[in-house]
Structure formats: structure tokens, C-alpha cells
């Protein structure tokens, strides 16, 4: 793996490079995701920023067929423009009885003007005829770290559960109110951010990211 440019320059240079070296850009504008990720990476020696501070970077178009391709593409795209590490994640919901839908289309399942409420409404309508045993689903998260256009690491996490018939709970985002996690007998929207992070697809992937960042740059 190529040594990350910022660390190469950090080794040979002075104060400016050293100050910019430990910057991490979260490649998301989704506030729900950003909130969870910031908690999962809290206490690391990185200045964590999000795309909200960099409107000039433009938007990466997620056109790929898998979470991994989208996650890698997004990380590469933003890391060509940002002088630090970039963490991108692509995530979504796969329903077994719907052949893995909504999958990579989770965010825009109900169309261009999609909202979390409209996506849930569409999902529940499609699943109305399905019995409890046919409602298995899982969340997937693929997190990629990149620097200057190079992928450094890719990590994956998943969470299995089932889709219930009516939304429950006020917390979280996306499909959380209809995703039931049997071991806790709650939907993800009935959990606090801390409780969700302990078990979630994102929590599982991001704990691996955290372990890698703790050792950075030695880990390269």
C-alpha cells in the first residue's frame, strides 16, 4: 500500500503539514449518520469535519450496484480534494423477501423527493402481504478510508433483524422505526444513539475503523 501523501510530507516537513496531518473528513451530509459516526470516533486525535464545511467539493453520484463500490468511489472522490484522511460509508437496508431491495437505493427508494417517512411508507406497503417469518432484513455498512485518491482500508458491518408492520420509536433516522432487533425486543428508533452503536452495522464497521485510526500512521 502506498504511503499516504500527508504522512510522507509530515515526515519531511515543518509545522504546517504537521497541523493538517490529522484531519478526517466524514464524506456525508446525512446528519443522522454523522451523529453516530462522531460518537463512534470520539476521543481519537483527529480533527473531524464533514462535507457541510466543504460545499465546493461537489456531490459524488452513487451509481454503483454494491455498497462496497459506492463506498470506495465516494472515499476516492473526496480524498482527491481534501488534504487529510477521508472516511466514506455506504449503507442501506436489504429485505430478503424483496430480493435485497431497497439495497443501494435505500436513501432514494421512494423517488427523487424521497424522505425517511416516504421510504418507510413505500416499504410497508410493499411488505403488507408478508407474514412475520417472511420479514427478515439486514442493514449493511461498508466504510472506506482514503487519502489522496488511494484507498487505505475497507471495513464492513451488518445487523440482522426484521421489518415490523407499523413504525415505533422516535430516535435514529432512515428505516430505524420499522427495523426490529429481537435480542433487545425494540426497534432501532427505540434505542439511544449509544445503544444503537453497540449493535449496529455502522457500529461494527466503525469500531474497526477506530482501531485502525488509533494506530495511524504506523498501521500503513
Q: Give the nearer residue to ligand IMP in terms of CB position, either 79 or 200.
A: 200
Query: Looking at 7-15, 50-58, 75-83, 166-174, which segment touches ligand IMP (CB under 6 A)?
Result: 166-174
Minimum CB–partner distance for residue 59 and ligand IMP (Å): 11
For residue 144, give the nearest of 214, 100, 79, 65 by alpha carbon.
Answer: 79
Catalytic annotation present for 90: yes
Query: Looking at 19-27, 38-46, 87-95, 145-153, which segment touches ligand IMP (CB under 6 A)?
Result: 87-95
Minimum CB–partner distance for residue 71 and ligand IMP (Å): 8
Q: Contact letters (x/-) for ligand IMP, 123-162, by CB under 6 A?
A: ----------------x-----------------------
Minimum CB–partner distance for residue 153 and ligand IMP (Å): 18
> How far from each other are the two terminal CA atoms of the chain, in whole angstroms?
7
Query: Looking at 79-87, 125-133, 149-157, 173-181, which segment touches ligand IMP (CB under 6 A)?
Result: 173-181
- Considering only residues 22, 176, 180, 204, which one is a binding residue for ligand IMP as defined by CB under 6 A? 176
Q: At 53, which helix (H) or strand (E)?
A: none
Q: Give the nearer residue to ligand IMP in terms of CB position, either 5 or 57.
A: 57
- Considering only residues 84, 174, 203, 217, which one is a binding residue for ligand IMP as defined by CB under 6 A? 174
98 forms part of the interface with ligand IMP (CB under 6 A): no
Please give the angle made by the CA atoms of 154, 195 and 128, to the nearest 5 degrees.
Answer: 85
- Considering only residues 200, 209, 213, 216, which one is a binding residue for ligand IMP as defined by CB under 6 A? 200
Q: What are phi and psi of 143, to 5 degrees?
A: -110, 130
The active-site residue out of 90, 99, 116, 176 is 90
Q: At 104, which helix (H) or strand (E)?
A: none
106 forms part of the interface with ligand IMP (CB under 6 A): yes
DSSP three-state, residue 99: coil
Beta-strand pair 23-26/85-95: parallel
Binding site for ligand IMP (CB under 6 A): 30, 62, 90-93, 106-107, 119, 139, 172-176, 188, 200, 202
Amino acid at each position: 500500500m502506498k504511503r499516504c501523501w500527508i504522512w510522507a510530507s509530515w515526515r519531511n516537513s515543518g509545522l504546517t503539514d504537521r497541523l493538517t496531518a490529522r484531519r478526517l473528513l466524514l464524506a456525508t451530509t446525512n446528519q443522522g449518520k454523522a451523529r453516530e459516526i462522531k460518537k463512534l470516533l470520539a476521543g481519537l486525535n483527529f480533527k473531524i469535519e464533514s462535507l457541510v464545511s466543504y460545499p465546493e467539493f461537489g456531490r459524488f453520484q452513487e451509481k454503483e450496484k454494491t455498497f462496497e463500490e459506492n463506498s470506495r468511489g465516494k472515499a476516492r472522490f473526496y480524498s482527491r480534494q481534501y488534504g487529510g484522511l477521508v472516511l466514506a460509508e455506504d449503507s442501506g437496508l436489504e429485505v430478503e423477501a424483496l430480493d435485497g431491495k431497497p439495497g443501494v437505493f435505500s436513501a432514494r427508494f421512494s423517488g427523487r423527493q424521497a424522505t425517511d417517512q416516504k421510504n418507510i411508507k413505500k416499504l410497508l406497503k410493499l411488505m403488507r402481504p408478508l407474514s412475520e417469518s417472511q420479514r427478515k432484513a439486514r442493514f449493511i455498512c461498508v466504510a472506506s478510508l482514503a487519502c489522496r485518491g488511494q484507498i487505505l482500508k475497507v471495513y464492513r458491518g451488518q445487523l440482522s433483524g426484521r421489518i415490523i408492520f407499523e413504525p415505533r420509536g422516535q430516535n435514529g433516522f432512515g428505516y430505524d422505526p420499522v427495523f426490529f432487533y429481537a435480542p433487545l425486543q425494540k426497534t432501532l428508533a427505540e434505542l439511544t444513539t449509544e445503544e444503537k452503536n453497540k449493535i449496529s452495522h455502522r457500529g461494527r464497521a466503525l469500531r474497526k475503523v477506530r482501531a485502525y485510526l488509533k494506530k495511524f500512521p504506523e498501521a500503513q
